[in-house]
């Protein structure tokens, strides 16, 4: 059975990033000919690099979502970050009213926490039974993941329901 639930996250911070990137790229394209002259090879390489950066960091985050698919929680931020977390490895889910000032994909070296946020409030925290490696976050090992979705209540309720079902199945099997 394929049970899929999509959860979108706020795109406001990524829209601002996109506008800043567009402004910076236009500025670079205007300055390069003035600074180094009109060299079509250099201009082509710079244009290719700028379009690639714009696509990866500006556009792909606008097209993705987090998802619960069968027994996995998938967290995605465009092509920048992807993670798959088995629901059976989640110990608990909690709502977090206020999070860190910084948004985006980041972690703290001193703690096993991973942040995947697009806003600073109304976040979701999941505590894992054991640390998991996240290749898209420089192989950081974490047992606490903090993220957000637009419909926090629905995601938290769905996760709690699925976790109760998993626990009930464990009790029946033992």
Question: Looking at the domain assignment, is residue 105 inside a domain?
Answer: yes
Q: Could you say which DSSP state residue 135 is in?
A: G
Tens digit of each residue's pLDDT (9 = 90 or more) over 28-54: 888 877 777 777 887 888 889 988 988
2 domain-assigned: no
Residue 148: what pLDDT? 95
Residue 58 lies in a domain: no
Residue 123: inside a domain, yes or no? yes
Establish if 68 belongs to a structural domain: no
57 domain-assigned:
no
| DSSP calls for 44-104 | HHHHHHHHHHIIIIIIGGGG--EEEETTEEEEEETTTEEEEEEGGGEEEEEEEEE--S--E
pLDDT, tens digit (0-9, with 9 covering 90-100), for 106-119: 998 899 999 999 99
> Is the separation of the CB atoms in 89 and 144 below 8 Å?
no
Instruction: Note the pLDDT of residue 72.
Output: 94
Q: Is residue 77 part of a domain?
A: no
The DSSP letter of residue 138 is T
91 is a domain residue? yes
Structural domain containing residue 144 = 87-173
Question: What token pair was written down for 40?
Answer: 């079509």
Q: What is the pLDDT along the chain (174 residues), one digit of tens a residue?
A: 567 899 999 888 888 888 888 898 888 888 877 777 777 887 888 889 988 988 888 888 888 999 999 899 999 998 889 999 999 999 999 999 998 888 888 998 899 999 999 999 999 999 999 999 999 888 999 999 999 999 999 999 999 999 998 888 877 776
Q: What is the pLDDT of residue 25?
A: 86
The per-residue pLDDT for 2 is: 62
Torsion (CA) 93, 98, 99, 103 in degrees, nearest 10: 110
Task: Give me the number of domains the chain comprises.
Answer: 1
Residue 141 gets which letter from DSSP?
Answer: E
């Amino acid at each position: 059975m394929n049970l899929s639930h999509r959860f979108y996250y706020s795109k406001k911070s990524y829209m601002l990033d996109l506008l800043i990137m567009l402004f910076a790229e236009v500025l670079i394209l205007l300055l390069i000919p003035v600074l180094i002259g009109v060299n079509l090879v250099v201009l082509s390489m710079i244009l290719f690099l700028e379009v690639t950066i714009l696509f990866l960091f500006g556009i792909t985050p606008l097209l993705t979502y987090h998802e619960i698919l069968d027994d996995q929680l998938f967290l995605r931020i465009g092509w920048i970050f992807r993670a798959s977390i088995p629901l059976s490895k989640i110990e608990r889910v909690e709502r977090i009213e206020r999070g860190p000032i910084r948004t985006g994909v980041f972690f703290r070296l001193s703690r096993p926490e991973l942040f995947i946020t697009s806003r600073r409030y109304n976040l979701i925290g999941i505590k894992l039974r054991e640390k998991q490696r996240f290749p898209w976050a420089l192989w950081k090992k974490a047992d606490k993941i903090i993220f957000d979705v637009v419909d926090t209540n629905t995601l938290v309720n769905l996760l709690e329901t699925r976790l109760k079902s998993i626990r009930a199945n464990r009790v029946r099997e033992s």
